[in-house]
Amino acid sequence: MYEKQETLASLPIGHQARVVHVGGDGALRQHLLDMGMIPGARVKAIKLAPMGDPLEVTVQGYELTLRIADAKLIEVEECAFKEETQPRKLIDDPSGLHPGLGEEGKYHDKLHETPLPDGVTLTFALAGNQNSGKTTLFNQLTGANQHVGNFPGVTVDRKDGVIRGHRDTLVTDLPGIYSISPYTNEEIVTREFILNEKPKGLINIVDATNIERNLLLTMQLIELDVPMVVALNMMDEVRSNGGTVLINRLENQLGVPVVPISAAKNEGIDELVDHLLHVAKYQENPRRQDFCDENEDGGAVHRAIHAVMHLIGDKAAKAGIPLRFAASKLIEGDHLVEAKLQLDDGEKDIIEHIVRQMEKERGLDRAAAIADMRFDFIRHLTADTVVKPHESTGHYRSRQADRLLTGKYTAIPFFVIVMAAVFYLTFNVIGAAMQEGLQALIDIAAESSGAALEAAGVSPVLHSLVQDAIFDGVGTVVSFLPIVILMFLFLSIMEDSGYMARVAFFMDKLLRKIGLSGRSIVPMLIGFGCSVPAVMATRTLPSSRDRKMTVFMIPFMSCSAKIMVYGFITAAFFPGRGGAIVTGLYFLAILIGVLVALLMKHTVFQGEAVPFVMELPNYRLPSLKSVGLLVWQKTKDFISKAFTIIFVATIIIWFLRSFDFGLNLVDDASVSIIAQIAQVITPVFAPLGVTDWRIVTGLIAGLMAKENVVATLSMLLGGASIIDVVSPVGAAALLVFVLLYTPCIATVSMIYREFGIRDTAFVVVFQMLVAWIAAFVVHLLLTI
Ligand code: GDP
Ligand code: MG
């Protein structure tokens, strides 16, 4: 009789099982394998998210979340487990491995070369899993001498910094990754960086509390054959929970120096730096690359890798790709490497045959066979060198906290409370006070400089430029700085503490319906405060598709600056009903956003959101230092990036408002260039019931900052009331237009910085169209 195959999705909560087969294909499957979800691994179902999807499991000793649909692809076999396999006898001196084959020696003839001459900058790349402490270590190594930018061609954060006290060094922080498969931007950036920029050394940071999964990346990095040091981080946590790592044995087995450190406690950093400088200076490559088990199950994989290595030796050398890396990637089915090697058809054929033979002998497909080979080595290695800590207090506390924070009935209420508190503190309490303070300071500066300018008798044009453009325009934007900073402070605390990963976990199901993943929730929420930090926050999203789509969603989260406009109009037209109307507007925007997302999901952004396979880190007390540094960096970013563009934009608007087409300074704003333009544009707004040029001018000024709508409008109206220039129906349409139209220049410039001109132009035009159409429909509905 047919028996239904058990999958991870059908495994009852609390039960354990062994993975039998991992189905699916492409990026998702590779990612699952990379995360340690390989045939033979044992998994335990922990809990379902409050909405019933995704699922949390433990695998390889850590918590992983994945969607039910993806869990259905993983066949499992339920079983009670005894303790782990015993270590196979490991050879202590890998330099003696395969004495007959000779490859290891041949590819390591660079060993013990003369040192690099003085004055050569020792460049290092810092690579490691997400949450392994990369940022913390980077900050420890470089202090404040760092520089933030993007990798060429992709908007993945790139940070460079000089190691403190060693001027001829440069560390580049690579994105957090779990593997170097060719599927995500981050992974591609990492390998391209190492292969093309050829850093003199690699720092591989490994989270010792999660060593099995972290070592997978280590093994792949070793194949890149670049001088490398493993920084075994979080040793404080391991030790305080009764664990140890036999460093010397680990070092011998891996063939690269291993330095135990605690980045957070600044322990072992000096020793790490010594080792780094040494391996880089003497260009000491890893002493071992061959991690297959020749005798047991792994023999087939071993033979396949060596056969391919023999076959492609010349091509790999020509393409400048490390041989072992090229071979194992070819066997895995890595199209990027295949393309780079420029193999001819004969070679491709032979490789296919080798792979098929290996698959047959090994009983696993290509990607699974390679992953299994690596995890098999890791399993034996850690059994031999790691004394597991008992459950750490951190982990225990996390489990307890998660009963509330991701509990079925408590997760969402708790989240609402947290977000409400963040907004309240940012916009009503601390942020508002700081903003007022800063604004007051700017006003004082404006006044005194105004007085000084007058006393000095400078021309009225210059005076107006300084007063209206610099102090009013740029000053207003700068006064938003505290809010942006605070928002970032709270966010980095949420992120650093591990809460953000949980939010993504339980919101995933909802967001997936509109083609996004749980991770997009945070930038979108920030959007209700201010779109500028919201756009910046999309940087944490793993794929550029998700990132762009999220940015396109942000304008639909009505930002707080618009509240002023809503207040102004509702007070005049719909007194007493402001609250209800504004709430309605927020929901209307979200509704339209959802419709737009659905539309985009089927057009511009076809395909799925990134597979939601994500680690749930332990909750941690965020470190003051790393949060502080992050906030400082964001502040600098905001000032330097947005400021230049805002400054230029302000001057342009000031110019348009202050001069007429004859370039005469005007007293009466209605003859200024901007008013003239507005009068030309006004007919466009007629179908919305808006026929007064002053309103249109206000809207144009609102492109600068939404607050300007009110400021400009009241200035132009003089003594008149807005009731005199537009009908209630027109006012309703106007509200909807303001709700949806193109975000302010600060946001647009941020989008430009992140995505370039094409996407920015798209957002600008698209939002304008959406706003117009929505307002038109509202006007239509209210008139008939
Ligand atoms: P990244 O995601 O790899 O950049 O990791 P982070 O540097 O952001 O660190 C992740 C978390 O681990 C933060 O909460 C750090 O404070 C914490 N952390 C980093 N290094 C250590 C360490 O050596 N010991 C302990 N106990 N925590 C650490
Ligand atoms: Mg980080």
- Give the model confidence (pLDDT) of 95-146 as tens digits: 444 333 333 333 344 455 678 888 889 999 999 998 898 988 998 999 866 6
| 136 CA closest ligand 1 atom index | 7
| Nearest alpha carbon, ligand 1 atom 12 | 133
Which amino acid is it at 608?
E
pLDDT tens digits, 593-644: 999 999 988 887 777 666 778 888 888 888 787 778 778 877 776 677 556 7
- Which ligand is in closest contact with the Cα of 139? 1
Q: Rounded to the nearest 5 degrees, what angle is found at the Cα of 28, between the Cα atoms of 25 and 30?
A: 75
Taking the C-alpha atoms of residue 705 and residue 717, their distance in angstroms, rounded to an integer, is 19
pLDDT (mean) for 261-268: 94
Distance 100 CA to ligand 2 centre (A): 44
Taking the C-alpha atoms of residue 390 and residue 396, their distance in angstroms, rounded to an integer, is 10
Which has more pLDDT, 634 or 588? 588
| 139 CA closest ligand 1 atom index | 7
Minimal CA–CA distance to 142: which of 334, 301, 245, 273? 273
**Model's pTM, two decimal places?**
0.80
| 621 CA closest ligand 1 atom index | 14
**What pLDDT is attached to residue 295?**
67
| 623 CA closest ligand 1 atom index | 16
Distance 535 CA to ligand 1 centre (A): 25
pLDDT tens digits, 413-435: 998 898 888 878 877 788 778 87
**What pLDDT is attached to residue 44?**
94
pLDDT tens digits, 699-747: 988 887 887 788 778 777 877 888 999 999 999 999 999 999 999 888 9
**What pLDDT is attached to residue 597?**
92
Asked whether 15 and 42 are in contact (CB, 8 A), the reply is no
Distance 195 CA to ligand 1 centre (A): 27
Residue % of the chain over a pLDDT of 70: 90
**What pLDDT is attached to residue 344?**
92
- Which ligand is in closest contact with the Cα of 233? 1
Collapsing DSSP to helix, strand or coil, 180 comes out as: coil
**What pLDDT is attached to residue 424?**
82
If you average pLDDT over each of 77-91, 111-125, 571-585, 597-611, which comes out highest? 571-585
**What pLDDT is attached to residue 476?**
65
- Which ligand is in closest contact with the Cα of 129? 1
Ligand 1 lining (C-beta closer than 6 Å): 128, 130-136, 176, 233-234, 236-237, 262-265, 496, 620, 622-623, 626
Test site for ligand 1: of 130, 132, 136, most ligand atoms within 8 A of the Cβ: 136
Taking the C-alpha atoms of residue 345 and residue 81, their distance in angstroms, rounded to an integer, is 47
Distance 546 CA to ligand 2 centre (A): 19
Minimal CA–CA distance to 618: which of 396, 387, 389? 396
The number of angstroms, rounded, from the C-alpha of 150 to the middle of its chain's C-alpha atoms is 12
**What pLDDT is attached to residue 477?**
66
| Nearest alpha carbon, ligand 1 atom 17 | 133
- The DSSP output letter for 22 is E
Alpha helices in 638-756 (DSSP H): 643-658, 673-685, 693-702, 707-717, 728-740, 745-755
Test site for ligand 1: of 131, 392, 492, most ligand atoms within 8 A of the Cβ: 131
- Which ligand is in closest contact with the Cα of 500? 1
Residue 65 has pLDDT above 90, yes or no: yes
Residue 1 has pLDDT above 50, yes or no: no
Distance 496 CA to ligand 2 centre (A): 8
Which has more pLDDT, 455 or 772? 772
**What pLDDT is attached to residue 500?**
83
Which has more pLDDT, 563 or 128? 128
Weakest-pLDDT range from 370-384, 520-534, 605-619? 605-619
| 131 CA closest ligand 1 atom index | 2
**What pLDDT is attached to residue 154?**
58
Alpha helices in 118-245 (DSSP H): 134-142, 185-192, 211-223, 235-240
Max Cα-Cα span within the chain: 99
Which has more pLDDT, 445 or 235? 235
Residue 61 has pLDDT above 90, yes or no: no
Distance 131 CA to ligand 2 centre (A): 6
pLDDT tens digits, 172-221: 998 888 999 877 777 888 888 999 999 999 999 999 998 999 999 999 99
Residue 2 has pLDDT above 50, yes or no: no
Asked whether 6 and 75 are in contact (CB, 8 A), the reply is yes
Taking the C-alpha atoms of residue 448 and residue 524, their distance in angstroms, rounded to an integer, is 40
Residue % of the chain over a pLDDT of 90: 43
**What pLDDT is attached to residue 101?**
34
Distance 130 CA to ligand 2 centre (A): 7
Mean pLDDT taken over the chain: 85
- Banded model confidence at residue 150, pLDDT cuts 50, 70, 90: low
- Banded model confidence at residue 168, pLDDT cuts 50, 70, 90: very high
| Nearest alpha carbon, ligand 1 atom 5 | 133
**What pLDDT is attached to residue 771?**
96
In sequence order, the β-bridge partners of residue 205 are 128, 231
Collapsing DSSP to helix, strand or coil, 456 comes out as: helix
User: What does the block give as tokens for 606?
Assistant: 């076809």
